[in-house]
Each structure stands twice: as C-alpha cells, then as structure tokens.
Amino acid sequence: MMVHPTLLGRVLLQPSRSISSLRSTKPSISAVRVFQSQYNTNSKSQNHCENEKRGKWFTLPPYTPTINGSVLGKALSAKIPAKVASETTALKWVLRCCPELPRNLVQKLFRLRQVRRESSVMESCNLGDQGQEHRLTRVAAKDSMDVGDRIFLPISVKLLPASKQDCHCSEEEINFIRGLELFKDTAIIVINKPPGMPVQGGIGIKRSLDELSASCLSSDYSDPPRLVHRLDRDCSGILVMGRTQTSATVLHAIFREKTLAASNDDVGNKRRILQRKYWALVIGSPRHLKGLISVPLGKVVVDNGKSDRITVVENSRNLSSQHAVTQYRVIESSHGFTWLELSPLTGRKHQLRVHCAEVLKTPIVGDYKYAWQAHRNWKQFPWSNIEDNSNEKSLSENTLPFSLDLDSGSISEKHPRLHLHCKQMVLPDVSTALQDVQLSSEYDFSQLPSLKFNAPLPSYMKKSWDILRS
C-alpha cells in the first residue's frame, strides 16, 4: 500500500509483535517505529475529506484500564487490597499503544483534529457501513477514555513489517547470555549474573547487561528488559528485570517499599514479600552467630576528589546519610574464614561490603576497596598443585565470551576475587498479580503466591568452599 502523498508526508510506521497474554498488563498493542516524520499541514482540508471515508483509519485496540504500577507495587509490599486502575487520556492511550511514535507528532495529530474515537456505548448498535462513520467522533488529547473505547488514527500511519533491534553479538555470545536465564514469564526475567560483567553502561564500559539483554533477551517483546535493581560489577548472582514498562514499575515499587519499611525500623518477624540472601566469604569471624546491623551509611570523597567510597556515619548531622539494615547469620567457619548469609533489608550502595568490613570487622574476601589493608599480607591458601595446573589448562582451552573468567580467583590464589553472591531471592508473582488486577480493579494480595529463585555459586567461590571443607 502506498502512502497518499498529501497524508503525513513520509511518516512510515511499523507494528511490533503482540506481547499480550492473560498474564500481562500490556494490551495487544501494535508498537510503531518511525523512520521519517514530516507532516504536511497545508493539506488539512483534503486530509479531512479523504480520512472520513471508510477504510482510511488505523485502529487501536479497545481501551482497557491502565495499571498503576507504583500503586500495585505498594499494595504487593503491604499485602493489602488496593485499587490499582487509573484513568487515562486519549493522548496517553495513543502513546501507550504506539510507544515509538514521537510525542510531538501525536500531539500534532490531535491539534489538527485528525484523531477519532468510537465510543463503547455505541458498540451494541447494529449499524451498517454508513453508520460506522457517524459513530466516529473527534477526540481531544485530554479527553478521558472509557473502557472499550477505540481510537482511530489516519491510515497514513502506514503498517510495515516489524524489524528487530540490531544485535551486534556473535552466536556464541547470544547463547551465553541466554544461558544465564534462571526464570522467565510474561512479567519478569531472572538471570544469574556472572562476576566481572557490569550491569549498566558507563565510562570505559563497552558491554553491559542492560545493553546485552536488549539484544539477546527481548524475544518477541517490543520493549527491552528493564533493570529494577543493581548488583556490583564484581558481585554475582540473581538479577531481576521487568519485561514490560508496567512490570518494571511494579518491581521498582516493591524494592523501594522494602527499603522504606526497613528504614522506618519496620524489621519485625513478619513475612516479607521480598527476600534476598547473599553468601559471602569473610576474613575472620563475627562475635555473634547471627544478628542485625542497623547503621547509617554516607558517601565520602577520597583521593583529592578522584573517587568516593561508602562509610558508616557516626554523626548524621555532619554528613548526609541513609539508614542501612542487614541481617546476618554464620553458615560455618574454618581456617580463619567464615561463610556468612547476608539479608539486606534496605538497598543501599555497597551496603553489605561496608557492614562486613566496618561493623562486623570481617571484610569480604577479594574486596580491595573496603578491605585493602586486610589483603596487604594476604597468604594464599595451600591447595593441590596438580588440581591447580589442570584448572589452568582447562581455562586456556575454554575461554568464555566477553573475556569473562569464572574459574580463577579462589582463596588458593594470590589475588582472590570478590566472594559475594546473591544466592536466593523470593519475589511476589508479579505476572499473576497483573492478571488478577485486570479481572478485578480492587484485589486482595494477601494470598498471592511467591516465586523463589536460587543461583549456584560461581566456580571460584565453589572452589573456595571445597578448599575450606577439605
């Protein structure tokens, strides 16, 4: 189909594959990709006449109540009933249906009165072809949508075959990233992040997980997976991403509410909707087998402003700080080392590393930022030379993508790597929650099931475990 030369000039749009399902909040909506946008405002009257003819419209799906992800996340955290649906204007609905269509172009369509609405009230009327045109009325950008309403855009929003985001990864790299998946449903993706791979891009970072997940883990979704929390570059373990904008907003709210609750001294024994458990190998042993750390943390600038670090704030009046709470439990101790289970109740930067180094006085093995003094006189743990040589040989023969090395770095080596791993996480079933709130605008989440994930230790931490138990 050729675009009429007087309609929207060169605006060429494409639909993406549908990403709707019974367990997704995102409706069956065609995303559009703009290749060129140039609107001919001088042909307004001719456009109006042409578009009033039947078959001259690009139809969006019927309006369904929009989920307020932030409200839903709070309701899940508190496990209370909540009304999570919110009203939406015609402009917002078009932008939601067509996320890649420039906002200024959509606003121009509304200003030029090129957008129509078919009210759901008229759906039951059995009108002929002539009657359909009479049901279409002009709609303003700020008009509220009723359930079932349909929006009609000019057909000059031409439909083209979908094109996926360019992937610059080799087949080996794609398979490696996909092999990190621990779980996937319509709302979330859970991966076992390898140590040494940054989560986000930045200065000096060529490849990051957010970029790679967009290329390798999007599947048939129009949007790339979205980060909802962070792991340090040298840390490994469970990382959760939202597959849609709504699910990501819900997860953001869950993580945020967990931190707010703990910061307000709500650290009772009630079952928490979000639970995280890290394993860490530390130097020395805490005075108590288990306990609760609750101290403020703040950022200080060091090296003449070249870098910064997090530290415990003794006097919060003199330095801006954030409250940080961590539960800990000793798993076992051996040969001057201790395996700890750490459960952060807040999500502060470097929280676990600082709590171990400065509060428990048991720094994490391989943490050279907060425990460089403890590593100055590091003596590698004795280990079989035969096994070490065979291990080095296997490393040379099996090089991983992205120059990653998951084997070297145990306590038997001169420079051990950071021994901190997010081993377990419990999350509410966000996909089921989104499905349920579509069926009922006010839903009680007290009986919502949880999802439990476990991530195996990286090879070098597993080797340290074996060494200390031998």
Evaluate whether 231 touches 199 at the Cβ level (below 8 Å). yes
Mark whether 295 and 444 lie in a shared domain: yes
Give CA 13 to chain center in angstroms. 27
Say whether both 143 and 77 belong to one domain: yes
pLDDT of residue 264: 62
pLDDT of residue 24: 39
From residue 398, alpha-carbon distances to 172, 204, 411, 464 in Å are 12, 26, 22, 21
CATH number at residue 352: 3.30.2350.10
Residue 463's nearest CA partner among 418, 423, 389, 407 is 407
Q: What are the pLDDT tens digits along the chain (470 aa)?
A: 433 433 333 332 333 333 333 333 444 334 333 333 333 434 444 444 444 445 688 888 888 766 666 666 666 666 555 555 567 888 888 887 877 677 778 888 888 888 999 987 655 444 444 444 457 899 999 898 888 899 999 887 655 344 444 557 889 999 999 999 999 999 999 999 999 999 988 777 888 898 899 889 988 787 789 899 999 999 999 999 999 888 888 888 888 877 766 666 555 545 678 899 999 999 999 999 999 999 999 998 888 777 889 999 987 666 778 899 999 999 999 999 999 999 999 999 999 999 999 999 999 999 999 999 899 888 888 776 445 544 544 444 457 899 899 999 999 999 999 999 999 999 999 998 888 776 665 666 677 889 999 999 999 999 999 999 98
Same domain for 435 and 373:
yes
In a domain, residue 264? The reply is no
Cα–Cα distances in angstroms (integers) from residue 83 to residues 49, 73, 123, in the given order: 43, 12, 27
Count up the domains in the chain and report the number: 3
Same domain? 313 vs 415: yes
Considering the domain architecture, whether residues 281 and 202 belong to the same structural domain is answered as no
Nearest 5°: the CA angle 234, 275, 287 is 70
Which pair of tokens denotes residue 377?
């006189």
Specify whether 189 is located in the same domain as 151. no
230 and 284 part of one domain: no
Q: Is 127 contained in some domain? A: no
Q: Is 445 part of any domain?
A: yes
The end-to-end CA distance of the chain, in Å, is 72
Do 279 and 180 reside in the same domain of the chain? no
Alpha helix (H) ranges present in 52-170? 69-78, 90-97, 103-111, 129-135
Among 12, 269, 292, 30, smallest CA distance to 160 is for 12
One domain for residues 440 and 357: yes
Identify the pLDDT of residue 304: 78
- Cβ 184 vs Cβ 214: under 8 Å: no
Q: Is residue 399 part of a domain?
A: no
Size of the chain in residues: 470
For residues 326 and 409, membership in a common domain is answered with yes
For the segment 185-212, what is each residue's pLDDT rounded down to a tens digit?
Answer: 999 999 999 999 999 887 778 888 988 9
Residue 4: CB partners within 8 Å, gap ≥ 6?
50, 156
- pLDDT, residue 17, reads 36
The helix (run of H) or strand (run of E) holding residue 214 is helix 209-216
Same domain? 246 vs 307: no
**Of 235, 257, 279, at which residue does a domain stop?**
257
E strand or H helix at 216, and its extent? helix 209-216
What pLDDT was estimated at residue 28? 38
Structure tokens at 369: 């930022």
The residue among 225, 257, 289 that closes a domain is: 257
How many Å apart are CA 273 and CA 254, to the nearest integer?
8
CATH code, domain with 86 = 3.10.290
Residue 39 lies in a domain: no
Tokens 């001294």 belong to residue: 265
303 belongs to a structural domain: yes
Q: Is residue 414 part of a domain?
A: yes
How many other C-beta atoms lie within 10 A of the C-beta of residue 175?
12
355 shares a domain with 302:
yes
Domain span holding position 149: 57-120+135-158
DSSP 359: I
Helix axes 69-78, 245-263, angle to 10 degrees: 40
Residue 386 in domain: no
**Is residue 32 within 8 Å of 103, Cβ to Cβ?**
no
The set of catalytic residues is 232
